[in-house]
Amino acid sequence: MSGAKDRVRLWLRLLKVVRGIEHRVRDNLRRDFATTLPRFDVLSALSRHPDGLKMSQLSDVLRVSNGNVTGIADRLGEEGLVERVPVPGDRRAMILRITQRGQAEFTRQAAAHESWIDEMLRDVPAAEARAMAARLTAFADSKDEKEAAHAQ
């Protein structure tokens, strides 16, 4: 078998595994927290940026459009999980920031998320998981560098 076919087979297996895990995570979030993966992702991103993010920055972090984030942010805001804060010196811009209540809720969800993933990947030894993650990170970083060089 050629290297190209091996790589396509690898891609298809990665995709199948990721989609299966994502489907189970979505189901678990809906069942246990009455929430969605996009909402979880927004809270996760904001929990890593306690000073908040502009909507465009949040969209970049999540790699989705501003329109996708706006509706989610609105609903999370109505529930008191995030707040919009004006950007000093820019009347039009707002920063989205996780609230204490939002951080507490995210902490609960993140603990459950970690246990779900741990259970789903329990047959992967920790050392192997670290090695696989490092290889995928190196692969992603090399792709980012190539894309940046190509864009120049």
Q: Which domain holds residue 135?
A: 124-152
Alpha helices (H) along the chain: 3-33, 37-47, 55-62, 66-78, 100-120, 126-151
pLDDT of 2? 78
Residues 114 and 134 in one domain: no
pLDDT of 87? 86
Cβ atoms of residues 86 and 13 within 8 Å: no
Residues 80 and 69 in one domain: yes
Q: pLDDT digit string (tens) for 61-91?
A: 998 888 889 999 999 999 999 999 998 888 8
Distances in Å between the alpha carbon of 5 and those of 12, 36, 108, 142, 146? 11, 36, 42, 21, 23
pLDDT of 90? 83
Distances in Å between the alpha carbon of 121 and those of 18, 24, 37, 117, 147? 11, 12, 19, 6, 31
pLDDT of 148? 65
- The secondary structure of residue 81, as a DSSP letter, is S
Mean pLDDT on 98-106: 98
Residues 143 and 88 in one domain: no
Say which residue, 149 or 131, is predicted with more confidence. 131
pLDDT of 92? 84
Sequence-distant (≥ 6) Cβ neighbours of residue 134 within 8 angstroms:
none
Q: pLDDT digit string (tens) for 31-45?
A: 999 999 999 999 999
Residues 68 and 105 in one domain: yes
Residues 66 and 12 in one domain: yes
- State how many domains the chain has: 2
